[in-house]
Structure 1
C-alpha cells in the first residue's frame, strides 16, 4: 500500500495531437461556470445541523433535497483538486480549501455524534428511500478517499493524525462488512431490511474504484485483512472487465475503468514491462471497447443496450479518454474527434448558471454530475488548446472525483 495522496500537482504529460478546435472556448467557459456553481450555489449546506454536508442535487428552486456521504467525499476530492492548481484563480482555490474544511468538519461531527449517516439524509421529514436500508462500502470508500485527498493537501486540516483517524473511522464499517469476504461486499443491511437487486447492491466493477481508493490510503489506516480483500477485489474485477462486461450499466463499468487508473502502483516483475505500462494497456483496451458504443452524435447511452443519455456517463468517458491521451495513448485525429464528440454532447447538459443536468428529461442541477463535468471540460479545454499544464493531468490522475 502506498502513502497518502499528496493533493499537489506534479509530474509530466505529453499531449499528442493537441490543437485548437471548435468548442475549446465553450468548454473552458463551461468549466468556469461549473466551478462557480460548485462553490457558490448552495450545493454545500451553509448552516444548521448538516452544515458542511453536500447535497445530491438542488431542486428547480435551487434547494437541496438531501445530503449524501458519498457525494461529500467526492466534494472533498474535488476541492483538493481545485486547491492543488485546477481553480481558475487563487481566490477560488482559497474558497475550495474553506469548503473542503467545512465538508471534512461535517463528516467528523456526524461520525462522532450520530455514527454513519443514512445513505441519503433527507432535509425534510417523511421521506422514504430504499437506499437507507443499507450501508454501502462504495460510499464509505469514497468518503475516506475524500478525507485523505483533502487532508493531505490542506495545511489547516489539522495534524496528519487527525485526518488519518477520520479516514480510519470511515473504513471501520467497511472492515466489519467485509469480514471473511473474498472481495468487497456491496453493503450491510440496516435491521435486516432487504434491498432491491440493482448494480449498486451487488458486487461489481465499481468496487474496483472503491478498492483502489482504499489501497491508496496512508499505511496503517486499513487493517491487513481489508488490504488483502482490496487486492483480491482489484484482481477479480480487472479480470472480469477484460473478459466480458460484468453488467449492462455504463456508469459502474466506467467506475471500474477509473479504478484501474487509480490503482496503487504495483512493482514490476522482470522481464515484463513496467507495471504502469501494463495497467495503461488494460485501461486502453477496455476503454476502446466501451467507446465502440459511442453514437454518431458523440453520445453514450446509460446501458450497453441503449437508454437515456446521462451527463455523468459522458463526463466519466471524457475524463478517462483525456487522461489516456495525456499519457501517449489514443493518438491521432480519429481519437481527438471522438473525444470532441463527448465534450460537445456534455456541454448540452450545462445550464447558464453552471448547474449540470443529470439527463435531458430533468430540470434539477446534479452535484456529482457537476463535479465530473468540471474535471472533464477543464481538461478538455486545456488539451485541445495545446496549452495544457502537464501538472493538471498528473493531479487529475490522483484526484479523479
Structure 2
C-alpha cells in the first residue's frame, strides 16, 4: 500500500499501523512484528509490542470521531488471542518469537521481563476503555493471567524486578533493561492508570512500591540513555492520570533536563556520547511528554517552541508507505512498529496542543 503524502502525517502512520505490522496468517497470527522489512529469519513477533498495539487501538478509538470499529475489533481480538497463547506456553511467553529458526539463540528469551509483561497487562486493561470488549471476555482473562505472572517477578520490597531467568538458564547480561531501574515506572504508571480499582490488588501494590522505589530522586539520577529515561517520565504521567501526583516535581525537573539535552529538536540516545544515534521513538517520547506539560503551561517559551522542531523531525522521517525507521540513518523498507505507534500518538498530541487544547487524562492513560 502506497499512501499519498498529502494526507496528514498522523493519518499516514495510522494507515500503516492498521495495515502492515500485525501477522494475519501462520502460527503467530495476531502477533505484532517488532518491525517490517526484515527477512523471515530475523523477523519476530513481540509480546511487548503486541501489548502496545492493544493500547494503541484503544487510543485510536478514543481519539477518532467515527472509528472503524470492525477493523479495530478484528485486530484487537487476534492480538488478545495470540498473547493468551504466549502466556499459556511452558515457561511463559518468549520475549521475541522469531518467524524463522533461532528463538533460543536470542539472550532475551532466557528470562521473563516485568517490563514486557507490564506492557501486555496494560494492553489487556486498555482493551476495555476504547469501546472494546467488556470485562469477562478474553481480554479480561488475559489481564488476570498476566497479572499473576507479574506477581512472580517481585523483589523483597514488593517492587518489580527487571527480569527473572527461566529455570536452568543463565542470567541475561547486565543492561538497563535487565536490572531494576526507572524504566519500570512505565509499568507502574500504566498499572495505576488502567487497573480497575476493585481488581488485582497485588499488582497495584507492586506498582505503588515500584513508584516509591524509582521516582524519588529521579531528576538527580536521570539515566544517561534517553529511551529508558523517557519511559520513567511516561510512567509518572500515567501515574498522575491514575491519581498519584506526589512525584510531579520530579517529572517536570527531569523533563527539563532532557529538553536541555535536545539541540534543535534532536535528542540523541546516549547523552554526552558523540555520534550517538537519533532514534525516532525517543523523539516521539519527548514530544508526547512535552505536549502534556506545555498544555498545562509548565514549560517556558523556549521549551514550548522546541516541540515544533521535534514534531518536524518526526514527520521528516515518515516513509512513502507510511512507516517510520528506527533511526535517522535507516531508510527504505525497514520500518519499526513501536516507533510508528509512539509517533502517531505524539503527532496527535501535538496537533491538539497546536489547536490550543490541553491533552486529556483519557489520552494520557493510554500512552503507548
Q: TM-score, normalised by structure 1?
A: 0.82
Matches within 5 A, 1:79-94: 79-86=57-64, 89-91=66-68, 93-94=69-70
Matches within 5 A, 1:346-361: 346-361=314-329
For structure 2, the residue ranges without an aligned partner over 5 or more in a row are none
**Aligned partners of 1:46 and 1:52 also within 8 Å:** yes
Q: 1:257 aligns with which of 227, 233, 246?
A: 233
**Aligned partners of 2:190 and 2:365 also within 8 Å:** no
CA RMSD of aligned residues (A): 2.6
Q: 1:52 aligns with which of 25, 30, 46?
A: 30
**Aligned partners of 1:76 and 1:147 also within 8 Å:** yes
Higher mean C-alpha displacement, 30-39 vs 172-181: 172-181
C-alpha spacing 1:62/1:355, structure 2 compared with 1 (3 Å)? farther
The alignment of Structure 1 onto Structure 2 pairs a total of residues equal to 357
C-alpha spacing 1:37/1:265, structure 2 compared with 1 (3 Å)? closer
C-alpha spacing 1:126/1:162, structure 2 compared with 1 (3 Å)? closer
Distance (Å, rounded) in 1 between the aligned partners of 2:41 and 2:364: 32
1:299 aligns with 2:275: no
Distance (Å, rounded) in 2 between the aligned partners of 1:239 and 1:28: 43
SS at match of 1:240: coil
State the Cα deviation string for residues 214-256 of structure 1 (Å, max 9, x = none).
23412454343x44332121022111313222x3211011000
Q: 1:380 aligns with which of 350, 354, 360?
A: 350
**Aligned partners of 2:55 and 2:122 also within 8 Å:** yes
Q: 1:34 aligns with which of 13, 17, 22?
A: 13
Distance (Å, rounded) in 1 between the aligned partners of 2:41 and 2:72: 21
Which consecutive segments of 4 or more residues in structure 1 shift more than 6 A?
Answer: 61-64
Please report how far the alpha carbon of residue 113 of structure 1 lies from its aligned counterpart in structure 2 after TM superposition.
5.5
Higher mean C-alpha displacement, 48-57 vs 188-197: 188-197
Please report how far the alpha carbon of residue 70 of structure 1 lies from its aligned counterpart in structure 2 after TM superposition.
0.5
State the Cα deviation string for residues 160-213 of structure 1 (Å, max 9, x = none).
465333212012122112153442100111223121111000111111111122
SS at match of 1:188: strand
Higher RCO (CA 8 Å, separation ≥ 6 residues): 1
Distance (Å, rounded) in 2 between the aligned partners of 1:354 and 1:140: 28
Q: TM-score, normalised by structure 2?
A: 0.88
Please report how far the alpha carbon of residue 98 of structure 1 lies from its aligned counterpart in structure 2 after TM superposition.
2.5
Q: 2:224 aligns with which of 213, 237, 248?
A: 248
1:136 aligns with 2:113: yes
Matches within 5 A, 1:1-16: none
SS at match of 1:135: strand
Distance (Å, rounded) in 2 between the aligned partners of 1:354 and 1:67: 20
Please report how far the alpha carbon of residue 105 of structure 1 lies from its aligned counterpart in structure 2 after TM superposition.
1.8
